[in-house]
Copies of this chain bind each other. A is one copy, B any other.
Amino acid sequence: MSAGRRAEALPDPLDATAVRRRLHRRPEPGFLEIETADLAWGLLAGLGWRLRGGGELVDVRDHPGLPSRDELDAAVRRAAAQGVAAASVHRFRDGNTAFVAELRGTRPGPLIAVRVDMDALPIQESRSGGHHPAARGFGSDVDGAMHACGHDGHVAIALRAAALLSDRRFAGTVRLLFQPAEEGVRGAAPMLAAGLADDVDVLLAVHLGFGTPDGCVAAATELYGTSKLRAEFTGVAAHASGAPEQGRSALLAAASAVLGLHALPRYATATTRVNVGTLHAPGAANIVNARAVLGAEVRAGGAAEHDDLERRARDVLHGAAAMHGVTVDVARTGWATSAATDDAILGRIETLAPGHGLRLLPPRPLRASDDATLFMRHVQERDGLAGYLLVGAGTYGPHHSPTFDLDEAALAPAADLLAALIRSW
């Protein structure tokens, strides 16, 4: 266990490796990023950035993708035990970890926003000697949590870029959108609803890895739109032997829905995906089941297909409930859309990248989802520009695996390119 950070000095934000390691040791899953937000907030405050956060800025109170009350409270206790100041804990508690840092340049110009995701995954990190963070002593010291998708690196890149840009030698305004809960595509929607992208002219997001070769940068394609659905079926319990006819089985409805969801059609017009990944139907073998909760996702490579597929998924859920005389409550716990990088941004990168030792590759398929796309599409629909950039980082182990790691040498060039790109407007 960590000895607490009270004794630790704040890292230099230009030292992306130090920042990343600090974060790597303290991974926090979605909406629980109190220590992470506190560290970033503190460094940015020191750099003179204007900071806004807390429940007044972004409302997540009724978010169906929020962790449980117990998990939220445990995060508060954990952060406090690590020495996070009470005011900071108070600001970021209850899922309110989203915050915004802004700096105005010396010349007028566009509002350029960078989405920075902060959350870790509920995965137990490898402690094997072959796993670099374990060997170097910065492996996760939070049981069952791990930065296994590189968001620690994303925050480190953003903070180094912020340090570079603190000279204010750029046009317009830079806004860093520190987003919780990218995993489960949960955190962007409430930030978008709070209007944080309404006035944005350029929206950028950076993601390390995904097989991008070292020293390379590329726009991501096949960023699928997705909806994460939680369906809770409520039936009527009854003794399965003494009065089975009085029951209404929530589990039968859920099982019908599982098959019906997986039978949703392929689309000729776009890539789609459907998966039911979880089902919990507690009770007893001799009782007609009264409660079943399933977790599913749909994905689509096009917005119209995404809408259509989600509508049909909901039809399946409601129809399955009706079949078996039960009710169902469907909540969308996560949401992303499909989006693509504007050519205008790629043009700038092609020009700038070599100066930072990076090479622009042709677009690469991600075949996954990221709710940065919600910001991207929103900005593009208002005639702004958006880009989602993959940066090679010599990753080890697959994303979301206990042995995932990244080559820290990729952090500084990525940050430098990001700062240069911002300065290019």
Contacts and interface: CB of A to CB of B under 8 A. Distances in A.
Interface of A: 184, 224, 226, 228-229, 239-245, 247, 249, 251-252, 254-260, 262-263, 265-269, 271-289, 292, 295-297, 299, 305, 308, 312, 315-316, 318-325, 334, 367-369, 400
A275 B279 contact: no
Given A245-B308, A256-B256, A285 B292 contact: no
Given A240-B273, A265-B288, 12 more contacts: A239-B400, A240-B275, A243-B268, A249-B265, A251-B258, A251-B279, A255-B258, A268-B367, A278-B282, A315-B325, A318-B323, A319-B321
A263 B268 contact: no
Given A240-B297, A285-B278, A245 B265 contact: yes
Nearest to A267: B245
A281 B282 contact: no
A125 to B, nearest CB: 17
A22 to B, nearest CB: 27
- Work out how many copies of this chain go into the complex: 4
A268 B308 CA distance: 21
Contacts of A334: 285
A73 B375 CA distance: 52
B259 A244 contact: no
Contact of A260 (B256, B265, B289): B256
Contact of A252 (B263, B278, B369): B263
27 contacts: A228-B285, A228-B286, A239-B368, A240-B275, A241-B268, A242-B368, A244-B273, A244-B275, A245-B265, A245-B266, A245-B269, A249-B276, A251-B258, A254-B255, A254-B279, A256-B259, A257-B323, A275-B288, A276-B285, A277-B286, A278-B282, A278-B283, A278-B285, A284-B295, A318-B322, A319-B322, A319-B323
Contact of A278 (B289, B299, B324): B289
A226 B241 CA distance: 10
B265 A259 contact: no
Nearest to A317: B323
Contact of A244 (B229, B243, B267, B289): B267
Most buried by B among A226, A259, A285, A308: A285
A184 B283 CA distance: 13
A73 B345 CA distance: 62
A259 B269 contact: no
Contact of A277 (B254, B280, B288, B297): B288
A268 to B, nearest CB: 5
A299 B244 CA distance: 12
Given A283-B277, A319-B319, A255 B259 contact: yes
Nearest to A398: B239
Contacts of A274: 266
B308 A297 contact: no
A320 to B, nearest CB: 6
Residue of A243, A284, A320 ringed by the most chain B CB atoms within 10 A? A284
A327 to B, nearest CB: 12
B283 A281 contact: no
A228 B283 CA distance: 14
Contacts of A251: 258, 276-279
Contacts of A272: 266
B284 A277 contact: yes
Contacts of A239: 368, 400
A42 to B, nearest CB: 32
A368 B274 CA distance: 23
A255 B285 CA distance: 15
A274 to B, nearest CB: 8
A254 B224 CA distance: 28
Contacts of A400: 239
A422 to B, nearest CB: 31
Given A263-B263, A278-B285, A305 B273 contact: no
A279 B281 contact: yes
A244 B251 CA distance: 25
